[in-house]
Structure 1
Amino acid sequence: MSDQIESLKPEEVSNGERPLSLPSELPILPLRDTVLFPNSFMPLAVARESSVRLIDDAIANGKLIAVFTQRDAAMEEPGQDDLYAVGTATHIHKMFKLPDGSLRLIVQGLARLTLDKVVSTQPYLRARVTPATEDTNEADRLEIDALARNINTNFQQVVSLSPLLSEDLQTLAVNISEPGRLADFIASSLSTISTAVKQEVLETLDIRARMDSLNRILIKELEVLELGSKIQSQVQSEVGKNQREYFLREQMKAIQKELGEGDDQTKEIEELTEKIEAAGMPEQVKKEALRELDRLSKMPIAAAEYTVSRTYLDWLVALPWNKRTDDVIDLVVTKNVLDADHSGLEKVKDRILEYLAVRKLNPDIKGPILCFVGPPGVGKTSLARSIAQSLGRKLVRVSLGGMRDEAEIRGHRRTYIGALPGQVVQGLRRAESKNPVFILDEIDKLGSDFRGDPSSALLEVLDPEQNNTFRDHYLDVPFDLSEVLFITTANILDPIPAPLRDRMEVLEIAGYTEEEKLKIAIDHLVDKQVKNHGLTSVYIRFTPAALRQVIRGYTREAGVRNLEREIGALCRKVARRRAENNETPIEITPDIVVEMLGAPRFLDEEMEERTKDPGVAIGLAWTPVGGEVLFIEASRMAGSGSLTLTGQLGDVMKESARAALSWLRAHAKEYNIDPDFFKSAEMHVHVPSGAIPKDGPSAGVTMAAAMASELTGRPVRGDMAMTGELTLSGRVLPVGGIKEKVLAARRAGVRQVIVPKPNAKNINEDLTPELRKDLTVHLVSTIDEVLALALQPVASDVRPAKKTTRSVGQVAAPRA
């Protein structure tokens, strides 16, 4: 390598005492990201072909060049406009040739130069240059000396704080007496300031201004270094503290190990750490769990807070953050499961199948919030179980009946003793799945008191747009409920707050028909009760006729719970018989039913018997437990023209009675009624079952029929029931609960029903062909049509003066 190193001797180098003689033109060496100051040495790397050529020529012609810093370091072939205007005359001291053709130089800055004009660009830049004379004003000498002292002091502090600067620089700076050279030396030594700042110092020819600028730079640099030193000290202190705690903790573990203590806690911490890592928590939740675990690791195992923290972590790791069951979406299988478990309920089944069809096409769709509304015993909860079974999902059921505390939904905050998450989170933990079918039973039985309103807490749970970040008070971290299929059940909608009802898709489930009850009994109830009572199908057999006798004579309900109880009563009778060593198989027939259960409680003949006299009409009512048959009785007596209403009637029902009487008085002549009958008589309307409150407008036509029957002496037909709201003009307005009312009529043996004409859509949509079999539905628009259908003719009857000509619609086949 010795032949690659050429030592060069400087010829005329300024010593600071006499002026340097410089040519008017010099080759220009552009510098990237560095500034060379006068009287300083610097290593340079030369790789550009033009620059290598320049150095070769300069060595052969006096070793003197000019260096100027590029404005843009990325520029490969800079011109005059790409270079700063002030540079440095430079002497080449040493040159090293490298194998790749590049050069390494050691150069010395001699004096400042001003770039006047580039005279040549090939093979490298040459330019006219002028020495830049420093400006020194004797009047500023005192200020310059003061600045020099400040600069020296600040520089000493910067060197002592900066790990990048050698301590030798402190000695060199102290021995420089000339202010301009001191400023150049310090500026060239500071490696942390930018190229632009260094160039600004180089271009400042006024000594006082240069010293002032450098002093500001040093003060700023000193502030940065002091702040960095403070931060470093804090970090080291924290690290030292952590290391000390670590060593102390390790020593404590060693001592506890020798004493046989502390092993359980260490194992618990390690076990919880593994569970947290394996739980699949979202990052935010995992961060909170690890923070709580760190607190737990620092607590004594005997501390009261230890159990609270440990229980909290157990809940976090036990939740199904990423566990879910795969949906089994087979519409045929699902339909078969639903049909096997439940008779009827076609609308509800269709809605479930529609949901599955959409989910099959779009697996990411948010599940609906379904609300099954219907009387007790119609299969709302069991239908939800069948849905879970058909989907292959886990099932969770929470009963909301009587719940009054909002914390039952959202959980209690951990500050309370014995705090636990709410029922929603508890249910998900039991299910061990993120997407179960979640049944919220009896949502209409929620209450509220000073502890809060649970129905308001359910607003977030049952909102698909919000429940993906449900935050339980106990957990205090978000949990995604958007994959849960929530199904709520209720007997009536009225108690449910409107905002909560708005979040649910309501599916009404009416009562079962006699045929559906019979099928349910044969397919499910009989086998269940026979097994529950320790019997077998070999020993006891129910005939369909016997079951039909139980349905008609011993139960009148929308659901099948009483039917199941009566079947159970028959099984108990047979079980006692067998327990008395009577092994003879028995077939349950209608006669055996009467023998075991006693005389039937409900008789079809009751309708004919109660309506054979004038003044009694059969109405239809809706109740939370299904439809009911309602008898309305009217009686005329001598009096002062008043209307008496009894039977615990509500205000709406009383107003319906007054409207009916007013219409009859207005149309008395048309029905051969004395127009002045009300002056010397009074009317009493009574609705039996006086212990039960009654209200609603749908008994208007029935009250009118009962009063018309009493006043005309024409009995109301015993095989006909009616419903509808009556106006003063005689129009019949639509009412609700049509299916429930029709089912009640069928249960009571009534086969003709009068319904408002606007309710025709309910008849067509809600009543199946099987339900309409042997049932005649008359659609009416006015009370004239009702009376024409309901009042029986008598031998002495005179036809009304105004005969109705309105059509009467019949739905389904006529009675056989």
Structure 2
Amino acid sequence: MNYTTKIPRTLPVLHMSNVVMFPYLLMPLVVSDEESKLVIDYALANDKLMAFFLDQEKDDTGITELANFGTAVTILRMLRNQDGSISMLLQGSTRIKLQKIVQKNPFIMVDVEAIPEQFEEDTEIQAYRTVALELLEKIAQESNILNREMITGLSNIKQAGRVADIIAGNIDLPISDRQKILETIDLKQRFRYLNNCLAELIKQMKVENHIRSNIQLEMNEDQRRYYLREQMDAIRRELGETDEVSKEIMKWQELIEQKNLPDYVKETALEELERLATMQPVSSEYSVVRNYLDWIVNLPWREYSKDRLDLKKIERILEKDHYGLKEAKERILEFIAVKKLKGNLKGPILCFVGPPGTGKTSIGKSVARALSRKFIRMSLGGIHDEAEIRGHRRTYIGAMPGKIIMEIKRQGTANPVFMLDEIDKVGRDFRGDPSSALLEVLDPEQNNSFVDNYINLPFDLSEVLFITTANTLDTVPPALRDRMEIIEFTSYLENDKIEIAKHFLIPREKENNGLAKEKITFTKAALQEIIRYYVREAGVRNLQRRIGSISRKIAKEVAMGTHQKWIIKAEDIAKYLGPRKLTLEMANRKPEIGVATGLAWTGYGGEILFCETLRMPGKGNIILTGLLGEVMKESARIAVSYLKANHSVFIIPPKLFETSDIHIHFPSGAVPKDGPSAGLTLTVALASLFTGQKVRHDIAMTGEITLEGKVLAIGGLKEKLLAAKRAGIKRVVIPEENRETLSDFPADILAGMEITYVQEIQEAIRILLIPNTETVEQKPKQRRIA
């Protein structure tokens, strides 16, 4: 009697290179590739049936194709895992033979023929069945891999073909033998081949047990590994073959031995390899262990690039790549000099602080090129998750190492130049505090044993030259700031920008726009025109954009056939860039009552800040606008309180404070402003408002004030002086306490500037307010500070 399960003629194909399915058997399976997912989705929508075939290699060419025989399978259960893979429980229904392939993309569809199962059994078949069960008993005696209850259950199954398939599906036979048994339709031949396989398996087990019995019970770790390898080799020699998993294990074994790994890493790698050897390739844990092995074996634990220590050559490279930046270059040369003399040195943690566009990131690349080291740049801006630095633990699905370890593995050396950009913009939320995770990375006393959560082994970062960049240190935690050596990058002067444009920006934009062969010259007046009236910045990024815009317009004319010698003059700039976008802030100004010129510091350099005040009938209220912070609001209240307390000195009727509302405004209302250094500007503007005396428009000021009328020191003075210089202001009033600060400033910044130092507010008011001659003549006996 023949019986065949009814199946469709055309089925989608699920194919694998290491799994053979048999009729009647249940098998759990996990798949993750996209083709298999499409096959499963199709099967779920069409009676849950699929064709399961083995991928076979043909003629040792490495090319695989589907085997001729397979099994029709039904999806009993299916679960989609969080990592994107699919877990299934499959049941084989009947043998099938491949007729033809009807579709290859996006997945394979084939026409199949169901193979009827033989149910007529004679005495010879029953004898073969009895021998197979006896061999199975011997296998159970030689090892513990079989459950004796299963053997008993097989004795009760009436269909001999089903018994043969169950045995083949549950015994650890090579894939080729399993496929051969599946393809053998004749039941006698199938049993004959199965029994031969079982007999060979018994021989293998006896050899294995013999080898094991000859091994000493007490042995060190190296001996144990040696005997295990001998055992595996003996088994393979006895079988005369190796499977794919064994090949992979051997590949890992050779790789671990070849790599120059520290002892603790090598020990961990071998332990993980032993775990891998005991796992099934279809297990989800198998890929996790293999990925971990790949990371720890291929990390550059002891691979260092050789440093170039020729100081003169390094100095030439730094000078060639960057204009100015004397302090940063000097510090780098000092580091290299000490390393050359001492031989080894813990990598310093340098922090370049300054406005955008001043060369902080680009000088890091030059340092790597000068030292002949690999360069890594990692932006920290917006990072909120601590795992971005330290990685995830392997217990989590999809766990990966942190970016520090990932980038070092990608570059392949343990001593790169590692630039951590935008360290002042690190975030913090419920996922952790990345800036705290950076403490271990950026501490020379700790980072020689940095532990990533995924790798879970100490990695030496002490040879890495870490360079961090920031626009401001205000948002950098004090503990992190303490671990770094701060090097300030100041705003560029006009002359600096002209030199940078000539030697760096113009050649770069010519190259970027296909104009390398064209003769293009920018006159100094043209560059001054762009710098003064088209860009206003501390760095040179916008200047490069404007030069690039001019270059593109020239490129358009060249592409249309115009070839000439291009000389860009000041009067040509408007033709290329349009009307002037900016004006010199003081050019059209004149002395006014209640309006004072202050200096402000921002993360993008210094700026001119005008303080406007207005008095109106009211009840003594103070109105503050311009998106001011709490510190500036307090400075405004201090200024009003000081003038109230000293109304007699400045000849201000006291009733004015009670019958007037005061409105204080700082223009650019959408830009947040805060800081104590606007206190002097606020006081001078209010003094002008109440006394009716105009404020000198050509003098800028900055300073913090107290209720006693003292002017205190402020920060960011270098950027503030550069802002005044850009605006055409040649005289600045600053606190006396900042006099020593100016001694470190380059002469170019102070050239053409008149600096006036004040200790008291009254001194500043006397300098900054223009005397009202009419008022003085009417009241000659009254004292006025003007």
Computed over aligned residues only, the root mean square deviation of the Cα atoms, in angstroms, reads: 2.9
CA deviation string 1:208-246 (max 9, x = no partner): xxxxxxxxxxxxxxxxxxxxxxxx999757899999987
Contact 2:601 2:716 in 1 (8 A): yes
- Does structure 1 residue 510 correspond to structure 2 residue 525? no
User: Alpha-carbon deviation of 1:287?
Assistant: 1.1
User: Alpha-carbon deviation of 1:331?
Assistant: 3.1
- Does structure 1 residue 680 correspond to structure 2 residue 659? yes
Which amino acid is the alignment partner of residue 466 of structure 2?
Answer: F
1:768 is matched with: 746
Which amino acid is the alignment partner of residue 752 of structure 1?
Answer: R
CA deviation string 1:496-532 (max 9, x = no partner): 2222222222222222111211211111111111211
Q: 2:236 aligns with which of 253, 269, 294?
A: 253
Which amino acid is the alignment partner of residue 769 of structure 2?
Answer: L
- Does structure 1 residue 633 correspond to structure 2 residue 580? no
Which amino acid is the alignment partner of residue 699 of structure 2?
Answer: M
1:469 is matched with: 449
Q: 1:665 aligns with which of 644, 658, 674?
A: 644
Please list, as runs of the form range in 1=range in 2, the aligned pairs for 1:409-488 lying within 5 A after superposition.
Answer: 409-488=389-468
User: Structure 2 vs 1, CA of residues 463 and 532 (structure 1 numbering), >3 Å: closer, same or farther?
Assistant: same
- Does structure 1 residue 496 correspond to structure 2 residue 476? yes
Contact 2:619 2:661 in 1 (8 A): yes
CA deviation string 1:532-556 (max 9, x = no partner): 1111363422122111111111111
In structure 1, distance between residues paired with 2:213 and 2:663:
99
2:163 is matched with: none
Instruction: Find the residue that maps to 1:541 and give its secondary structure.
Output: strand
1:389 is matched with: 369
In structure 2, distance between residues paired with 1:374 and 1:547:
23
In structure 2, distance between residues paired with 1:244 and 1:568:
69
Instruction: Find the residue that maps to 1:796 and give its secondary structure.
Output: helix
Which amino acid is the alignment partner of residue 719 of structure 1?
Answer: D
- Does structure 1 residue 778 correspond to structure 2 residue 761? no
1:755 is matched with: 734
User: Alpha-carbon deviation of 1:800?
Assistant: 9.8
Instruction: Find the residue that maps to 2:351 and give its secondary structure.
Output: strand
In structure 2, distance between residues paired with 1:786 and 1:801:
20
Contact 2:368 2:374 in 1 (8 A): yes
- Does structure 1 residue 723 correspond to structure 2 residue 699? no
Contact 2:377 2:419 in 1 (8 A): yes
User: Structure 2 vs 1, CA of residues 654 and 247 (structure 1 numbering), >3 Å: closer, same or farther?
Assistant: closer
- Does structure 1 residue 790 correspond to structure 2 residue 773? no
Q: Normalising by the residue count of structure 1, what TM-score does the alignment of the two structures yield? A: 0.65
Q: 2:303 aligns with which of 323, 342, 346?
A: 323
CA deviation string 1:369-422 (max 9, x = no partner): 111122211111112222222222211111111222222212222233332221
Which amino acid is the alignment partner of residue 651 of structure 1?
Answer: E
Which amino acid is the alignment partner of residue 620 of structure 1?
Answer: L
Instruction: Find the residue that maps to 2:593 and give its secondary structure.
Output: coil
Instruction: Find the residue that maps to 2:673 and give its secondary structure.
Output: coil
1:742 is matched with: 721
- Does structure 1 residue 285 correspond to structure 2 residue 285? no
- The alignment of Structure 1 onto Structure 2 pairs a total of residues equal to 569
Q: 2:545 aligns with which of 551, 561, 565?
A: 565
Contact 1:403 1:454 in 2 (8 A): yes
In structure 1, distance between residues paired with 2:275 and 2:589:
79
- Does structure 1 residue 647 correspond to structure 2 residue 626? yes
Instruction: Find the residue that maps to 2:695 and give its secondary structure.
Output: coil
Instruction: Find the residue that maps to 2:492 and give its secondary structure.
Output: coil
In structure 1, distance between residues paired with 2:533 and 2:727:
10
Please list, as runs of the form range in 1=range in 2, the aligned pairs for 1:166-245 lying within 5 A after superposition.
Answer: none
Which amino acid is the alignment partner of residue 766 of structure 2?
Answer: A
In structure 1, distance between residues paired with 2:639 and 2:407:
54
Q: Normalising by the residue count of structure 2, what TM-score does the alignment of the two structures yield? A: 0.68
Instruction: Find the residue that maps to 2:398 and give its secondary structure.
Output: coil
User: Structure 2 vs 1, CA of residues 346 and 801 (structure 1 numbering), >3 Å: closer, same or farther?
Assistant: farther
Contact 1:279 1:321 in 2 (8 A): no
CA deviation string 1:347-390 (max 9, x = no partner): 22222222223223323331211111222111111122222222
Contact 1:514 1:551 in 2 (8 A): yes
Which amino acid is the alignment partner of residue 626 of structure 2?
Answer: G
Contact 2:306 2:373 in 1 (8 A): yes
Contact 1:724 1:732 in 2 (8 A): yes
User: Alpha-carbon deviation of 1:703?
Assistant: 1.0
Contact 1:672 1:800 in 2 (8 A): no
1:704 is matched with: 683
User: Structure 2 vs 1, CA of residues 702 and 383 (structure 1 numbering), >3 Å: closer, same or farther?
Assistant: same
User: Structure 2 vs 1, CA of residues 595 and 481 (structure 1 numbering), >3 Å: closer, same or farther?
Assistant: same
Instruction: Find the residue that maps to 1:607 and give its secondary structure.
Output: coil
User: Alpha-carbon deviation of 1:663?
Assistant: 2.5
In structure 2, distance between residues paired with 1:625 and 1:520:
19
CA deviation string 1:442-489 (max 9, x = no partner): 112222333322222211111111111112122222111111111111
Which consecutive unaligned segments of at least 5 residues does structure 2 have?
1-211
Which amino acid is the alignment partner of residue 460 of structure 2?
Answer: D
- Does structure 1 residue 532 correspond to structure 2 residue 512? yes
Instruction: Find the residue that maps to 1:621 and give its secondary structure.
Output: strand
1:586 is matched with: 566
In structure 1, distance between residues paired with 2:552 and 2:594:
44
Which deviates the most, 448-457 or 683-692?
Answer: 448-457
Which deviates the most, 264-273 or 689-698?
Answer: 264-273
In structure 2, distance between residues paired with 1:505 and 1:685:
40
Which consecutive unaligned segments of at least 5 residues does structure 1 have?
1-231, 806-816
User: Structure 2 vs 1, CA of residues 474 and 720 (structure 1 numbering), >3 Å: closer, same or farther?
Assistant: same
Q: Percent identity?
A: 49
Contact 2:705 2:712 in 1 (8 A): yes
Contact 1:469 1:480 in 2 (8 A): yes
Larger radius of gyration: 1
User: Alpha-carbon deviation of 1:701?
Assistant: 0.9
Which amino acid is the alignment partner of residue 711 of structure 1?
Answer: F
Contact 2:631 2:674 in 1 (8 A): yes
User: Alpha-carbon deviation of 1:597?
Assistant: 1.3
Contact 1:671 1:800 in 2 (8 A): no
1:379 is matched with: 359
Contact 2:629 2:674 in 1 (8 A): yes
